[in-house]
Amino acid sequence: MFNVDKDSLLPIYYQIEEGLKSLISSGELQPGEVIPSERELCDRYDVSRMTVRQAINNLVNEGYLVRKRGKGTFVGMAKIEQGLKGLTSFTEDMKVRGMNPTSILLDFREIKATPALSTKLNIHENEWLIEMQRIRLADDIPMAYESVYLPKELVPDLTKEIASKSLYDYIEKEKKLSITHADQTLEAAVAKEKEAGILQIKEGAPVLLIERTTYLETGKPLEFVRSFYRGDRYKFKIELVRS
Protein backbone atom coordinates (compact mmCIF):
# COMPACT_ATOMS: atom_id res chain seq x y z
CA MET A 1 0.00 0.00 0.00
CA PHE A 2 1.39 3.43 0.91
CA ASN A 3 2.63 5.26 4.01
CA VAL A 4 1.01 8.05 6.01
CA ASP A 5 3.19 10.53 7.92
CA LYS A 6 1.25 11.91 10.87
CA ASP A 7 4.01 14.46 11.54
CA SER A 8 3.67 15.94 8.06
CA LEU A 9 2.08 19.34 7.46
CA LEU A 10 -0.08 17.68 4.81
CA PRO A 11 -3.55 16.67 6.10
CA ILE A 12 -3.96 12.92 6.66
CA TYR A 13 -6.99 12.71 4.36
CA TYR A 14 -4.92 14.29 1.58
CA GLN A 15 -2.10 11.77 2.08
CA ILE A 16 -4.59 8.89 1.86
CA GLU A 17 -6.18 10.46 -1.21
CA GLU A 18 -2.80 10.85 -2.96
CA GLY A 19 -1.73 7.37 -1.87
CA LEU A 20 -4.79 5.77 -3.47
CA LYS A 21 -4.28 7.87 -6.60
CA SER A 22 -0.70 6.60 -6.88
CA LEU A 23 -1.89 2.99 -6.61
CA ILE A 24 -4.41 3.63 -9.39
CA SER A 25 -1.96 5.42 -11.69
CA SER A 26 0.71 2.73 -11.18
CA GLY A 27 -1.77 -0.01 -12.03
CA GLU A 28 -1.54 -1.68 -8.63
CA LEU A 29 -5.27 -0.96 -8.36
CA GLN A 30 -6.99 -1.76 -11.66
CA PRO A 31 -10.26 -0.32 -13.08
CA GLY A 32 -13.18 -2.27 -11.62
CA GLU A 33 -11.17 -3.54 -8.65
CA VAL A 34 -12.61 -3.03 -5.16
CA ILE A 35 -10.50 -0.93 -2.79
CA PRO A 36 -10.06 -1.71 0.95
CA SER A 37 -13.11 -0.80 3.01
CA GLU A 38 -13.25 2.33 5.15
CA ARG A 39 -12.81 0.17 8.26
CA GLU A 40 -9.73 -1.52 6.81
CA LEU A 41 -8.16 1.81 5.91
CA CYS A 42 -8.97 3.20 9.38
CA ASP A 43 -7.29 0.21 11.04
CA ARG A 44 -4.31 0.18 8.68
CA TYR A 45 -3.43 3.86 9.20
CA ASP A 46 -4.90 4.34 12.68
CA VAL A 47 -7.10 7.26 11.63
CA SER A 48 -10.73 8.19 12.08
CA ARG A 49 -13.47 7.07 9.71
CA MET A 50 -14.25 10.73 8.98
CA THR A 51 -10.70 11.21 7.68
CA VAL A 52 -10.88 8.17 5.43
CA ARG A 53 -14.36 9.09 4.20
CA GLN A 54 -13.21 12.58 3.22
CA ALA A 55 -10.39 11.11 1.12
CA ILE A 56 -12.71 8.61 -0.57
CA ASN A 57 -15.44 11.22 -1.17
CA ASN A 58 -12.91 13.46 -2.93
CA LEU A 59 -11.76 10.59 -5.15
CA VAL A 60 -15.37 9.66 -5.98
CA ASN A 61 -16.09 13.28 -6.92
CA GLU A 62 -13.01 13.33 -9.17
CA GLY A 63 -14.02 10.08 -10.88
CA TYR A 64 -11.14 7.96 -9.59
CA LEU A 65 -13.49 5.81 -7.51
CA VAL A 66 -17.08 4.63 -7.90
CA ARG A 67 -19.40 3.57 -5.07
CA LYS A 68 -21.76 0.67 -5.63
CA ARG A 69 -24.48 0.34 -3.02
CA GLY A 70 -24.11 -2.83 -0.97
CA LYS A 71 -20.94 -3.88 -2.82
CA GLY A 72 -18.23 -1.40 -1.88
CA THR A 73 -16.04 1.21 -3.55
CA PHE A 74 -14.33 0.38 -6.83
CA VAL A 75 -11.66 1.92 -9.02
CA GLY A 76 -13.28 3.89 -11.83
CA MET A 77 -12.54 3.51 -15.53
CA ALA A 78 -9.31 5.16 -16.67
CA LYS A 79 -9.75 8.68 -18.03
CA ILE A 80 -9.14 9.37 -21.69
CA GLU A 81 -6.27 11.82 -22.07
CA GLN A 82 -6.77 14.26 -24.92
CA GLY A 83 -3.99 16.52 -26.18
CA LEU A 84 -4.79 20.15 -26.89
CA LYS A 85 -2.29 20.70 -29.70
CA GLY A 86 -3.78 19.13 -32.83
CA LEU A 87 -7.22 19.57 -34.34
CA THR A 88 -8.86 16.16 -34.54
CA SER A 89 -12.40 14.84 -34.50
CA PHE A 90 -13.97 12.74 -31.76
CA THR A 91 -14.14 9.80 -34.18
CA GLU A 92 -10.42 10.06 -34.96
CA ASP A 93 -9.51 10.35 -31.26
CA MET A 94 -11.42 7.23 -30.26
CA LYS A 95 -10.17 5.13 -33.17
CA VAL A 96 -6.55 5.96 -32.24
CA ARG A 97 -7.29 4.56 -28.78
CA GLY A 98 -8.74 1.36 -30.19
CA MET A 99 -12.26 2.31 -29.11
CA ASN A 100 -15.42 2.15 -31.22
CA PRO A 101 -16.88 5.67 -31.71
CA THR A 102 -20.60 6.12 -32.34
CA SER A 103 -23.10 8.95 -32.18
CA ILE A 104 -26.74 9.29 -31.24
CA LEU A 105 -28.42 12.17 -33.06
CA LEU A 106 -30.89 13.82 -30.68
CA ASP A 107 -31.92 16.74 -32.87
CA PHE A 108 -31.36 17.92 -36.44
CA ARG A 109 -33.05 21.03 -37.77
CA GLU A 110 -32.67 24.35 -39.56
CA ILE A 111 -32.71 27.53 -37.49
CA LYS A 112 -32.01 31.20 -38.06
CA ALA A 113 -28.78 32.57 -36.62
CA THR A 114 -29.16 34.43 -33.35
CA PRO A 115 -26.98 37.50 -32.71
CA ALA A 116 -24.58 35.35 -30.65
CA LEU A 117 -24.29 32.62 -33.29
CA SER A 118 -23.93 35.11 -36.14
CA THR A 119 -20.95 36.60 -34.30
CA LYS A 120 -19.38 33.17 -33.68
CA LEU A 121 -19.78 32.17 -37.34
CA ASN A 122 -19.16 35.60 -38.88
CA ILE A 123 -22.44 35.63 -40.77
CA HIS A 124 -25.48 37.89 -40.86
CA GLU A 125 -28.16 37.58 -38.21
CA ASN A 126 -31.10 35.39 -39.33
CA GLU A 127 -29.04 33.49 -41.91
CA TRP A 128 -29.97 29.81 -41.99
CA LEU A 129 -27.96 27.38 -39.90
CA ILE A 130 -28.08 23.65 -39.40
CA GLU A 131 -28.28 22.81 -35.71
CA MET A 132 -27.68 19.31 -34.43
CA GLN A 133 -27.36 17.83 -30.98
CA ARG A 134 -25.45 14.59 -30.56
CA ILE A 135 -24.30 12.20 -27.88
CA ARG A 136 -20.78 10.98 -28.61
CA LEU A 137 -20.05 7.48 -27.35
CA ALA A 138 -16.95 5.30 -27.13
CA ASP A 139 -17.53 1.55 -26.75
CA ASP A 140 -21.19 2.42 -26.08
CA ILE A 141 -20.33 4.68 -23.12
CA PRO A 142 -21.56 8.31 -23.33
CA MET A 143 -18.52 10.60 -23.36
CA ALA A 144 -19.85 13.95 -24.53
CA TYR A 145 -23.00 15.85 -25.39
CA GLU A 146 -22.59 18.48 -28.08
CA SER A 147 -24.54 21.11 -29.96
CA VAL A 148 -23.20 21.91 -33.43
CA TYR A 149 -24.07 24.88 -35.64
CA LEU A 150 -23.04 25.11 -39.32
CA PRO A 151 -23.94 27.69 -41.98
CA LYS A 152 -26.41 25.94 -44.27
CA GLU A 153 -24.81 27.43 -47.40
CA LEU A 154 -21.65 25.37 -46.71
CA VAL A 155 -23.44 22.04 -46.25
CA PRO A 156 -26.82 22.32 -48.05
CA ASP A 157 -27.07 18.56 -48.56
CA LEU A 158 -26.16 17.53 -45.00
CA THR A 159 -28.62 14.87 -43.77
CA LYS A 160 -29.43 13.15 -40.49
CA GLU A 161 -27.70 9.99 -41.71
CA ILE A 162 -24.45 11.86 -42.44
CA ALA A 163 -24.67 13.77 -39.16
CA SER A 164 -24.85 10.49 -37.25
CA LYS A 165 -21.35 9.62 -38.49
CA SER A 166 -18.10 11.59 -38.70
CA LEU A 167 -18.87 15.16 -39.73
CA TYR A 168 -15.21 15.91 -40.55
CA ASP A 169 -15.05 12.94 -42.93
CA TYR A 170 -18.06 14.34 -44.76
CA ILE A 171 -16.65 17.88 -44.87
CA GLU A 172 -13.20 16.87 -46.10
CA LYS A 173 -13.88 13.80 -48.26
CA GLU A 174 -17.32 14.53 -49.68
CA LYS A 175 -17.43 18.33 -49.74
CA LYS A 176 -13.68 18.66 -50.49
CA LEU A 177 -13.33 21.49 -47.96
CA SER A 178 -10.06 21.92 -46.09
CA ILE A 179 -10.30 22.35 -42.30
CA THR A 180 -7.23 24.17 -41.00
CA HIS A 181 -7.59 25.44 -37.43
CA ALA A 182 -9.92 26.28 -34.57
CA ASP A 183 -10.31 28.61 -31.61
CA GLN A 184 -11.25 26.70 -28.46
CA THR A 185 -12.02 27.50 -24.85
CA LEU A 186 -12.28 25.01 -21.98
CA GLU A 187 -13.72 25.56 -18.53
CA ALA A 188 -14.91 23.58 -15.55
CA ALA A 189 -18.66 23.27 -15.06
CA VAL A 190 -21.24 21.06 -13.35
CA ALA A 191 -23.85 18.95 -15.09
CA LYS A 192 -27.37 20.34 -14.98
CA GLU A 193 -30.40 18.05 -15.17
CA LYS A 194 -30.38 17.83 -18.98
CA GLU A 195 -26.66 17.09 -19.39
CA ALA A 196 -26.67 14.67 -16.45
CA GLY A 197 -29.50 12.63 -17.94
CA ILE A 198 -27.90 12.47 -21.36
CA LEU A 199 -24.41 11.59 -20.08
CA GLN A 200 -25.72 9.13 -17.45
CA ILE A 201 -24.08 10.96 -14.56
CA LYS A 202 -25.42 12.62 -11.44
CA GLU A 203 -26.76 16.15 -11.55
CA GLY A 204 -24.00 18.41 -10.23
CA ALA A 205 -21.22 16.05 -11.36
CA PRO A 206 -18.15 17.77 -12.86
CA VAL A 207 -18.05 18.25 -16.63
CA LEU A 208 -15.70 20.01 -19.02
CA LEU A 209 -17.43 22.71 -21.07
CA ILE A 210 -15.71 23.23 -24.41
CA GLU A 211 -16.62 25.82 -27.03
CA ARG A 212 -14.91 25.68 -30.42
CA THR A 213 -15.12 27.61 -33.65
CA THR A 214 -13.53 25.68 -36.53
CA TYR A 215 -12.24 27.40 -39.66
CA LEU A 216 -11.74 26.45 -43.30
CA GLU A 217 -8.65 27.18 -45.39
CA THR A 218 -10.42 30.26 -46.73
CA GLY A 219 -10.66 31.67 -43.21
CA LYS A 220 -14.44 31.21 -43.15
CA PRO A 221 -15.89 29.65 -39.97
CA LEU A 222 -17.24 26.15 -40.64
CA GLU A 223 -18.88 25.37 -37.31
CA PHE A 224 -19.44 26.46 -33.76
CA VAL A 225 -19.60 23.60 -31.26
CA ARG A 226 -20.58 23.65 -27.59
CA SER A 227 -19.72 20.38 -25.83
CA PHE A 228 -20.03 18.91 -22.36
CA TYR A 229 -17.47 16.17 -21.66
CA ARG A 230 -17.74 13.86 -18.67
CA GLY A 231 -15.24 14.95 -16.03
CA ASP A 232 -14.91 11.36 -14.78
CA ARG A 233 -13.89 10.05 -18.21
CA TYR A 234 -11.91 12.86 -19.81
CA LYS A 235 -8.84 14.95 -19.07
CA PHE A 236 -6.95 17.30 -21.34
CA LYS A 237 -3.20 17.65 -21.64
CA ILE A 238 -1.03 20.39 -23.13
CA GLU A 239 2.73 20.76 -23.36
CA LEU A 240 4.01 24.18 -22.29
CA VAL A 241 7.37 25.44 -23.55
CA ARG A 242 9.11 28.34 -21.84
CA SER A 243 10.16 30.93 -24.39
pLDDT digits (tens, 9 = 90+) for 166-177: 888 889 998 999
Q: Which domains does the chain have, with CATH numbers?
A: 12-75 (1.10.10.10), 80-237 (3.40.1410.10)
- CA dist 165 and 92 (Å) reads 11
pLDDT, position 24: 84
Segment 13-26 shows an average pLDDT of: 89
| 103 has a pLDDT exceeding 80 | yes
pLDDT, position 211: 94
Tell me the pTM: 0.69
- Among 83, 85, 113, 95, CA closest to 182: 85
Segment 220-224 shows an average pLDDT of: 96
pLDDT, position 28: 87
What is the tally of helices (H) and strands (E) in the chain? 8, 10
Per-residue burial over 162-193, b if 16 or more Cβ lie within 10 Å, else e, is: bbeebbbebbeeeeebebeeeeeeeeeeebee
- CA dist 4 and 59 (Å) reads 17
Segment 190-207 shows an average pLDDT of: 91
pLDDT, position 65: 85
